[in-house]
Amino acid sequence: MKIGHKFLSNTINKIITVITGVILISAVFIYIDSIYGININKSNALTKEEVEWLKNHGPLIYAADRNAPPLRYLDVSDGQYKGVLIDYANFLSIELGTKIELYPMLWEDALKSLSKGETDMCDMFISEERGKHYLFTKPIYTLRSVIAVNKKLEDEVDSLKDLAGRTMAMQKGDYASEYLKKNYPNIKQIYVADLEEALFLVAQGNVDATLGDEPVMVFQMDKNRLDNKVSIIEKPIYEEQVVFAVPKSKPQLVSILNKGIDSLNRKNALEMIQRKWFGISTPIVKVMSFEDIKGYMLIGMIIVMAVILLMTLWNKSLKKQIKLRTKELESSRNELQTVFDGMAEYMLVLDGNRSIRNINKAFLTALGKDKSEIMGRNYKECIDIFSNMELDELMDEALKKGTHVVEEKQFKSYIFQISVTPLKDTNDEIGSVLIFLNDVTNEKISNNKLLQANKMVAIGELAAGIAHEIRNPLGIIRNHSYILRMYNGENQTIKSSLNYIDQAVERARKIIDNLLNFSRISGEREEETNVYKFIENILELQGKIMQKNNINYEIDCKQELRIVINQESLKHILINLISNAIDAIDENGKIVVKAQVEEDKFLLECIDTGVGISKEDLDRIFNPFYTTKAPGKGTGLGLYIVYNEVKKLKGDISVESQVGKGARFSIMIPINKGVKDYEE
């Protein structure tokens, strides 16, 4: 009986100990989750479904206020979207392994875009009204709002109650405006685009006050030197938590962002960002208070007690759990590596000695190398793309600041946006860096082509105006020439002078017609074109330059040749080929443009007697931004545009050249809609 009683007693004690330990550990988890928003019971690794969702969705779009420094603002000096939240979004992008694109907007437009699902995320306060349109994540940080009043009213206003019946300038769509409507409906609101505009209205005395986020208010007052005209009431109106809002159509995104927020909380990412943006009035990360310290002490005591109680009983179980967790970590690491390798952009991890620790598959494919060839080696020894990029300076700057830095660098005919981000090791010390390379060459080219298109539109409008203004006096000259010829037709001297006048008028008219034809935008439309006149018009536009440099030209083409083609594309091809030929000749030379049709193909050749092209350059002349001209003489896009326009017409282009013997560009374009070959 005693043995049975002792066994039963030991069993009961063990059960009580286990239950007590479970309760204590559960209490720890509940406390941490309630105070810090971090659920220890749940893994922060993205599930396969979440990774697949991000992959199918593509880049996440973060859109917010474009003028709320230091939280977020568009820097007019360099056109970059910057601020505390922008840095946080970039950190979050790395944590989630997906690209987050940043769009500065008016606050009102950002809210509308988010509610329609056109954008994916925006930071904001939670409110009942916003809850009708958005879903919300865990808190990111805490922010408080204050009142700014005209200096003349600082002794009269201590709170919002003192502004009853007065007028306040408020940012449309802002939480502060919603707060006033609900709690102080007797205050009149005038809506403005942002807090900066509101402060100017307060300083000018057009309104009595404004309400907004304290760090933004302080920053704008310092920036615009409004201290002598505007006063901030020190007592905060409210202090609320800021979260990410996402469209109700994308509930999966809430869980994904929450995991990223938890991960950044553990890494103290927001504190690092705050140190970078030091100088705001109220830190957006709460400083540890005495209550927080007590909480940490309580957690520590509970954990120690739980460990002591469970050490003996759970030894075997802990080993199993460690083994299980190890497998989970390996699985998580493999998933992260899969995401790392799945990124289309080039990614590279270097240690403190600048040796390669990891590289993704996209980068390896571009380099044409195996991973085993370059792992552990210095990056400069095995990656040519970094040979002239001065990457060490970027890494030193990133390590010094403790945050990522971004800069654009050119390698051969490609432009890369390089982001360098410091990474912490297990000792919470920065021991390596992540290098992120994004090829933005096509974006730059698109911007240049868009700029050129806008210039062409402007030229068209200008040409139309000039034509109207010049044609009127030309008509007057022509009419009076006719009248003088009628009255003085027998005088040979006057007759000769009138002939010169008529010839000059006709020449001016022809120049105006050519200019209008050149600047006319035809878009993607194909139309019947007289090839000879088309070439002649473009050559005549360059006639002044060629005459000045003693360059002759010849058109080898039937005057009656007509084809159906996209005139806009043909215009780009001819203009760039002729301009290149003029630059190659410099002076004293000849340009020949040949055009003919053979069966269903349109053949076009541009031949010059210029300096020619070296064998080494022939393979690269169609690359974007590649040029052998002196700085400021060319962009390196002329022949790239020719190549693309020929390919757009489903044609082929080739070039024959030797140094000192000129160049011959040959183009073949298929003709699908027939050819007309007759006299006009």
Residue 114 pLDDT level (bands cut at 50, 70, 90): very high
Cis status, amide bond into 70, omega within 30 of 0:
yes
Instruction: Give the whole-angstrom CA distance, residue 341 versus residue 347.
Output: 8
Q: Which two tokens stand for residue 290?
A: 């005495």
CA angle at 427 for the pair 422 and 429, rounded to the nearest 5°: 30
Residue 459 pLDDT level (bands cut at 50, 70, 90): low
If you ran DSSP here, which 8-state letter would residue 548 be given? H
Helices (H), 311-374: 315-342, 361-367, 371-374
Instruction: Give the whole-angstrom CA distance, residue 585 versus residue 226.
Output: 61
Residue whose entry in the numeric block shows the structure tokens 């300038």: 169
- Which residues are CB-contacts of 442 (< 8 A; sequence separation ≥ 6)? none
Q: What is the pLDDT of residue 122?
A: 96
* β-strands 60-65, 100-105 pairing: parallel
The sign of the dihedral angle between the CA atoms of 578, 584, 586, 591 is negative
Q: What is the pLDDT of residue 252?
A: 95
Tell me: the pLDDT tens digits for 580-607? 888 888 778 889 999 999 888 999 999 9
Instruction: Give the whole-angstrom CA distance, residue 629 versus residue 624.
Output: 14
What domains appear along the chain, each with residue ranges and CATH number?
2-42+291-311 (no CATH), 140-242 (3.40.190.10), 344-437 (3.30.450.20), 440-521 (1.10.287), 539-680 (3.30.565.10)
* Separation of first and last alpha carbons in the chain: 125
Q: Please, are residues 29 and 177 in contact by the beta-carbon 8 Å criterion? A: no
**Range 364-374 average pLDDT:** 75
Cα 510 to Cα 504, 533, 555, 592: the distances in Å are 10, 12, 18, 22
Region of poorest pLDDT, from 116-120, 275-279, 367-371, 453-457: 453-457
Q: Say whether pLDDT at 530 is over 50.
A: yes
For residue 215, count other CB atoms closer than 10 A to its CB: 23
Q: Say whether pLDDT at 139 is over 90.
A: yes
Residue 642 pLDDT level (bands cut at 50, 70, 90): confident
Q: Is 164 exposed, middle or buried (0-12, 13-18, 19+ CB in 10 A)?
A: exposed
**Range 566-581 average pLDDT:** 86
- Cα 486 versus chain centre, distance: 69
Quick check: pTM over 0.75?
no
- Cα 644 versus chain centre, distance: 24
The sign of the dihedral angle between the CA atoms of 299, 301, 305, 311 is positive
Q: What is the pLDDT of residue 628?
A: 63
* β-strands 209-213, 167-171 pairing: parallel
Report the mean per-residue pLDDT for the chain: 79
Helices (H), 117-172: none
Q: Say whether pLDDT at 473 is over 70.
A: yes
Q: What is the pLDDT of residue 2?
A: 45
Q: Say whether pLDDT at 243 is over 90.
A: yes
Q: What is the pLDDT of residue 135?
A: 97
Region of poorest pLDDT, from 8-17, 195-204, 399-408, 441-450: 8-17
- Cα 51 versus chain centre, distance: 23
If one compares 368 and 576, the residue with the highest pLDDT of the two is 576
Q: Say whether pLDDT at 387 is over 50.
A: yes
Residue 229 pLDDT level (bands cut at 50, 70, 90): very high
Instruction: Give the whole-angstrom CA distance, residue 166 versus residue 186.
Output: 8
Q: Which two tokens stand for residue 180?
A: 């006033």
If one compares 394 and 142, the residue with the highest pLDDT of the two is 142
**Range 497-526 average pLDDT:** 65
* β-strands 188-192, 167-171 pairing: parallel
Q: Please, are residues 143 and 126 in contact by the beta-carbon 8 Å criterion? A: no
Q: Please, are residues 67 and 212 in contact by the beta-carbon 8 Å criterion? A: no
Q: Which two tokens stand for residue 649?
A: 């017409």
Which amino acid is it at 287?
A: V
Residue 293 pLDDT level (bands cut at 50, 70, 90): low
The DSSP line for 569-590 is HHHHHHHHHHHHHHHHH-SSEE
Q: What is the pLDDT of residue 600?
A: 87
Tell me: the pLDDT tens digits for 54-76? 999 999 999 999 999 899 999 88
Q: What is the pLDDT of residue 545?
A: 80
Q: Please, are residues 426 and 329 in contact by the beta-carbon 8 Å criterion? A: no
Find, among 672, 606, 590, the residue nearest to 642 by Cα: 606
Region of poorest pLDDT, from 289-293, 306-310, 655-659: 289-293
Q: What is the pLDDT of residue 551?
A: 87
